[in-house]
Amino acid sequence: MTPGQWSLAFPVNDSISIPVRLSVDSAGGWVLYNWTEQIPLEALTWAADSFHVKLPLFNSSLHGRLHNDTLVSGYWQDHSRQGQYRVDFTGSPAAFADFSAHHPGDEGKRYRVTFNPDVDSLRYPSVALLHRSGSNLSGTFMTETGDYRFLQGTLDSTRSPAPFYLSCFDGTHLFHFTGSFERGDSVISRGLFYSGNHSVETWEARHDDAAALTDPDSLTYVTTSGEPLRFSVTNSSGMPVTFDVSSLKGKVTLVQLHGTWCPNCTDESVWLGDIYRRYNSRGLQVIPVAFERNGGQEDLLRNVARQFRQLNLPYASYLGGEKHMSNQVFPMLNAVMSYPTLLVVDRKGVVRKIHTGFYGPGTGRYYQHYTSRLELFITQLLEEPA
C-alpha cells in the first residue's frame, strides 16, 4: 500500500459510512488512529495482493485486497459475536486531521445526554465531553456502565444547525455518532448513534456544566452484607478453582469481572496491572474473572490468555464462563449490570466496595479522579489488620 494516511469507509446502511483512520509507514506498517489513541496492527500478513490482520487485544480481524495504489476493499469480522458478524469496507488515500492538541485532560464542554429519548424502556442517561477546535471535534460519552473511549470527527460550522460526526474503531467497537449543534453549541439535536451495522439509537443533548451520572459505587452491591466472599471459576488450565476466606484472608483483593471483547475492561486491566506491580509486595492481589462470548471453553481460555500476554499482565487469569453466566458465578450480587465490575475485598475476605463500569483515559480528569480515589481506598485497606 502507498505510504501515508488512508481512510477506510465502513457502510452500515444506504446513507451512512463509518470512517476509520489508517496510517501506513514507509516499511508497510499499519496504525489505526482514534483521537489520541494509536493502535499498531502488528499481526499483518500478505499473500500476493490479499491481506489479513489479526487485531490486537480483541478476537476480530480485517481481511481484504489491494486493487491498486489507491484502492483497497475487504471486511472486518468480529469472531466474538454469534454468526458471521462482518462489516465491509473500502479504502483510499486521504489525509485526516491531527488531534494531538485535543488532550482528554482538557475540560472541553460537558453535555447532559439522553439516548432513545422517545422510548421509555430504552432511555438511558449519559454525559458527553466534547472538545471543539475549528472544524475538528473530539471527545467521548460517559454512561453509568463506562465510556465510549476515543472519538474524533468534524463539524460544519458554515451551516446552521451545524452538523457533525464522531467515530472510532478499536478492533471491537465500530462507533459513529451524528448530530447537529444549535443555538451556537448549547443544544445537540437529531443525533444518531451507530454501533457497527447491528444497532442504531437516537440521542439528544444540552450543554450543562453540572451534568452528572449516578455514583458508580452505588449501582452494584452484595445482598449478603458482611459475609466473606466465595466463588468458583476455571483456571487457565481448565481446572476448577474456588476462592473463599482461606484464599482471600490476609490479602486485599481486587476481583475484576471483565471480558476480552470489552474495551473498557482492557482500559481497567492496564490500570490494574500497574496497581498490582506497585502494591503486591504490601499484600494486594488481583483475581480477574473473564466472561466471554461465542466459543467453547478451550477457545475462550485461548482468547483470555492471548489478551493477557499482549497486555503483559503480571497475574493469573481465570474464566467465569460465557457472558450471561456472571450472575451464576456471583449470586451474592444484586446484579452484574456492566463489564467491567470491580469488587474490592478487605483482608478478612469481605467486599468493601463495588465499582460498576470504568471511566478510561478518554474521559480525562474523570479517569484521574476515579483511579486516584480508588488507589487511596486500596492503600487504606492495606493498612488495616487481617
Domain contains 103: no
Alpha-carbon distance of 80 to 302, in angstroms, equals 12
Residues 180 and 115 in one domain: yes
State mean pLDDT over 50-54. 97
Q: Rounded to an integer, what distance in angstroms lies between the CA atom of residue 343 and that of residue 275?
A: 15
Mean pLDDT over each residue of the chain, to the nearest integer: 94
Q: What is the pLDDT of residue 227?
A: 86
pLDDT in tens, 262-317: 999 999 999 999 999 999 999 999 999 999 998 899 999 999 999 999 999 999 99
Classify residue 290: in a domain, yes or no: yes
Same domain, residue pair 369 and 255: yes
Phi and psi at 325, nearest 5°, equal -95, 0
The reply to whether 76 and 113 lie within a common domain is no
Query: Which H or E run includes 374?
Result: helix 365-383
353: containing domain? 231-383
Give me the CATH number covering residue 327.
3.40.30.10
In a domain, residue 279? The reply is: yes
Cβ 315 vs Cβ 288: under 8 Å? yes
Q: According to the model, what pLDDT value does residue 132 have? A: 87
Does residue 98 sit within a domain?
no
Same domain, 360 and 241: yes
Is the Cβ–Cβ distance between 257 and 289 less than 8 Å?
A: yes
| Sign of the CA dihedral running 110, 356, 352, 279 | negative
For the domain that residue 79 is a member of, what is the CATH number? 2.40.128
DSSP string, 63-109: EEEEEETTEEEEEEEETTSSS--EEEEEEEE------TTS-TTS--E
> Residues 198-257: pLDDT tens digits?
999 999 999 999 999 999 999 999 998 788 999 999 999 999 999 999 999 999 999 999
Within a domain: 104? no
Is 179 a residue whose pLDDT tops 90?
Answer: yes
Domain boundary among 93, 124, 148: 93
Decide if pLDDT at 106 tops 80: no
Answer yes or no: do 241 and 326 share one domain: yes
Residue 170 has pLDDT above 90, yes or no: yes
Q: Is 104's pLDDT higher than 80?
A: no
Q: Is residue 214 part of a domain?
A: no
Point out the domain boundary residue: 69, 93, 117: 93
- Mark whether 256 and 376 lie in a shared domain: yes
Per-residue pLDDT band for 107 (boundaries 50, 70, 90) equals: low
The rounded distance, in Å, linking the Cα atoms of 21 and 33 is 5
CATH code of the domain in which 124 resides: 2.40.128.120
Based on the fold, state whether residues 379 and 294 are members of the same structural domain: yes
Whole-angstrom Cα distance, residue 58 to residue 258? 13
CA–CA separation, 132 and 135 (whole Å) = 7
What SS3 state is found at 167? strand
At 98 the pLDDT is 81
**Claim to verify: residue 315 and residue 365 sit in the same structural domain:** yes
Mean pLDDT of 337-349: 96
Co-location of 268 and 194 in the same domain:
no
Residue 105 clears pLDDT 70, i.e. is over it: no
305 shares its domain with 161:
no
65/175 same-domain check: no
CA atoms of 112 and 308, how far apart (whole Å): 36
Write out the H or E segment, with its range, that includes residue 168. strand 162-169
Q: Identify the pLDDT of residue 386.
A: 79
Q: How far apart are CA 276 and CA 270, in angstroms?
A: 10
Q: How is residue 333 annotated by DSSP?
A: B
Over residues 14-37, the mean pLDDT reads 95
Query: Left if phi > 0, otherwise alpha if psi is -120 to 50, otherwise beta: which for 183?
Result: left
Q: How many domains does the chain have?
A: 3
pLDDT, tens digit, 9 for 90 and up, residues 360-375: 999 998 999 999 999 9
Inter-residue contact 116 to 202 (CB < 8 Å): yes
pLDDT at site 185: 84
Q: How confident is the model at residue 83 (pLDDT cuts 50, 70, 90)?
A: confident
* CA 386 and chain centroid, separation: 35
Domain boundary residue, one of 48, 66, 93: 93
Q: Tell whether the model's pLDDT for residue 100 goes beyond 80.
A: no
Please indicate, yes or no, if residue 213 is contained in any of the structural domains: no
Determine how many CB atoms are found less than 10 A away from the CB of residue 120. Answer: 7
Any long-range contacts for 376-384 (C-beta under 8 Å, 24+ apart)? 377/344, 377/352, 377/353, 378/252, 378/254, 378/275, 378/279, 378/284, 378/344, 379/279, 381/252, 381/344, 381/346, 381/347, 381/352, 382/252, 382/279, 382/282, 382/283, 382/284, 384/346, 384/347
Kind of pairing, strands 341-345 and 199-207?
unpaired
Question: How many other C-beta atoms are found inside a 10 Å radius of the C-beta of residue 284?
Answer: 20
In a domain, residue 223? The reply is no
- Is there a single domain that holds both residue 32 and residue 128? no
Q: What pLDDT was estimated at residue 118? A: 95
- Mean pLDDT, rounded, for 159-168: 94
